[in-house]
Structure 1
């Protein structure tokens, strides 16, 4: 599957400190490079006792920096005229965090960090330590200090008494967000995604082939571009507010509650395969071995309610093969953009869509990540 080259042309300095979580950095560097980034590794002396510099040299394709030389590498990459787009300190120990907060430069990593903070190059810190250390008042104060100076913090996972390094998917997303300019900064984006599951009896359900991959791709791209993203669905996506629902009624309730409590949304994307019909639920388990008739009742249209009461910039999805005719009615109700797809697109990693708005029609095909990126390009170009 094609990986979206979100970091193409970007240079990321990965600064590694002496946490056991340093063993994860080779995979992290590979993940950044798969997104198109050029990666330069820098290590503290303590980090070299956990992971050999040769491993990071192999992963990055560049000689790892373990000491500063007459080439003044910290200025070359993170100075006022530096070539780096981002300094990522991952993992960051309590010791290194405290030195950064106090302006102490006694390792290549801390010197790179001071230089980046002084020049304004984005700095992203990924803490990893024992949970008791992470709760230390000085550590909490130092986290607040570097946040005030503009550094981003990728919060650790609190498990087994440890503040473990965040997962690579989350770290990469935060890197993408840090370097892509945040054109959606300050925008509240609400997305419905995936299938609904309507109960037939205590065991069975009615649902669709929808996998939620399109909704996921749209949500992740919105986060990369700086939005405050909320997704109403059954899954859990990193870096955003996930509201878990099962049925169409649950989804409607969650969407309307969010809009009411948050004074609406700037952008609403209705990417979920919301049930049009729901069976009249039967108590217990329907006996097997004989024919059963299901009574299906129509459900109210969530999109109509959202448009009527809140009228955000709305992007809707519609199954069908005659897009222009079906989209016109949606435009008349205020929808800004419609994406049409055939049923066979559901559940696949790739897709073929027709994107329509009042300015024209565009046929999109490729991975759903690629299609989502193109949709957001058009939203930013025309509708914001």
Structure 2
């Protein structure tokens, strides 16, 4: 394994998930080794073979069996795109998937974590979501929404903001926290 710092990119089932290669490429340009972790529902958004070729590591979506090699230890985590469901589960300590298990543990360990949600304005306006964002920030996670990162889109227009999803903003936040 490389001596590079290790970035886990946790991908949730939300609009721009299939474009996560953008974040991988940017991170690798900044000398990060990238481990992709996917929620089970996000797998259908991803070109697994391409991501594994880009990273040199298997895309993980479930706990390993004992003969499988361990993933490298995370120096930082970016959860992007983070779905409404995953943000709320994570804020409440729910670890019902491998991806959420990893994220919960890393936040508890103080691993720098940046969350880049992808939600519409109806979801973003919900009190449970706003409270989840606040809880995660209180635990030290950066949640990049509105002025800080992703600006929620109008309901029914979820495919339009894919091209402008601020992948690089998430990496900037992690690197600022690691400095």
For residues 169 and 48 of structure 1, the distance between their equivalents in structure 2, rounded to whole angstroms, comes to 22
1:112 to 102, 108, 124: 102
> Counterpart of 1:88?
78
* Number of residue equivalences: 167
For residues 159 and 97 of structure 1, the distance between their equivalents in structure 2, rounded to whole angstroms, comes to 17
Matched, 1:44 2:42: no
For residues 90 and 72 of structure 1, the distance between their equivalents in structure 2, rounded to whole angstroms, comes to 29
Matched, 1:62 2:52: no
Equivalent residues in 2 for 1:320-335, closer than 5 Å: none
Determine which structure has the larger strand proportion and give its number. Answer: 1
Matched, 1:172 2:162: no
Equivalent residues in 2 for 1:231-310, closer than 5 Å: none
Deviation at 1:31, TM superposition (A): 0.8
Tell me if structure 2 keeps the 8 A contact 1:22–1:90. yes
For residues 88 and 50 of structure 2, the distance between their equivalents in structure 1, rounded to whole angstroms, comes to 27
152-161 vs 14-23, which moves further: 152-161
Q: Which has the higher contact order (CA 8 A, sep 6+)?
A: 2
For residues 118 and 160 of structure 1, the distance between their equivalents in structure 2, rounded to whole angstroms, comes to 33
1:158 to 119, 142, 152: 152
For residues 136 and 129 of structure 1, the distance between their equivalents in structure 2, rounded to whole angstroms, comes to 11
Determine which structure has the larger helix proportion and give its number. Answer: 2
For residues 101 and 12 of structure 2, the distance between their equivalents in structure 1, rounded to whole angstroms, comes to 13
Map Cα deviations across residues 196-228 of structure 1 (whole Å, 9 max, x no partner). Answer: xxxxxxxxxxxxxxxxxxxxxxxxxxxxxxxxx
> Counterpart of 1:125?
115
Deviation at 1:49, TM superposition (A): 1.4
1:31 to 26, 30, 53: 26
Decide which structure has the larger Cα Rg and report it. 1
For residues 123 and 177 of structure 1, the distance between their equivalents in structure 2, rounded to whole angstroms, comes to 11
Unaligned stretches of 5+ in structure 1?
Answer: 1-7, 181-384
Q: TM-score of the superposition, structure 1-length normalised?
A: 0.41
Tell me if structure 1 keeps the 8 A contact 2:90–2:104. yes
Unaligned stretches of 5+ in structure 2?
Answer: none
SS at match of 1:169: helix
Tell me if structure 2 keeps the 8 A contact 1:30–1:60. no
Deviation at 1:121, TM superposition (A): 1.0
Q: TM-score of the superposition, structure 2-length normalised?
A: 0.84
Deviation at 1:71, TM superposition (A): 4.8
